[in-house]
Amino acid sequence: MTDPIVSIRGVSKKFPGGVIAVDDVNIDIAPNEFFALLGPSGCGKTTLLRMISGLETPTDGQIIIGGQDMALTPPNKRPTNMVFQSYAVFPHMTVEDNVAYGLRVTGVPEDETKRRTAEALEMVKLSHLAKRKPDQMSGGQRQRVALARALVKRPKVLLLDEPLSALDAKLRDDMRMELTRLQETVGITFIIVTHDQDEALSMASRIAVIDKGAVQQIATPSELYEQPATRFVADFIGKVNLIDAKVLSKKAKAITCEAKGLGKLTFDTEKACGDTVAVAVRPEKLKISKAEPKAAGLIKVQGNVRDVAYYGDTSHIVVSIKGGPDLQVNVQNDSRTGGSGVERGQAIWVSWMPDDSLVLTE
Residue 1 has pLDDT above 70, yes or no: no
CB 341 within 8 A of CB 314: no
Residue 89 has pLDDT above 70, yes or no: yes
The residue with greater pLDDT, 84 or 235, is 235
Q: What is the mean pLDDT of residues 56-65?
A: 96
- Phi, psi at 44, each rounded to 5°: 105, 0
CB 64 within 8 A of CB 13: no
Q: Which domains does the chain have, with CATH numbers?
A: 6-234 (3.40.50.300), 239-360 (2.40.50.100)
The tens digit of pLDDT for each residue in 145-196 reads 888 888 888 889 999 988 877 777 777 788 788 888 888 888 899 999 999 9
Q: CA-CA distance, 362 to 346, in Å (whole number)?
A: 35
- Best CA proximity match to 217, nearest among 357, 362, 355, 359: 362
CB 145 within 8 A of CB 137: yes
What integer pLDDT is reported at residue 64 of this predicted model?
97
CB 228 within 8 A of CB 234: yes
What integer pLDDT is reported at residue 122 of this predicted model?
87
What integer pLDDT is reported at residue 229 of this predicted model?
92
Q: CA-CA distance, 279 to 242, in Å (whole number)?
A: 6
- Phi, psi at 196, each rounded to 5°: -95, 110
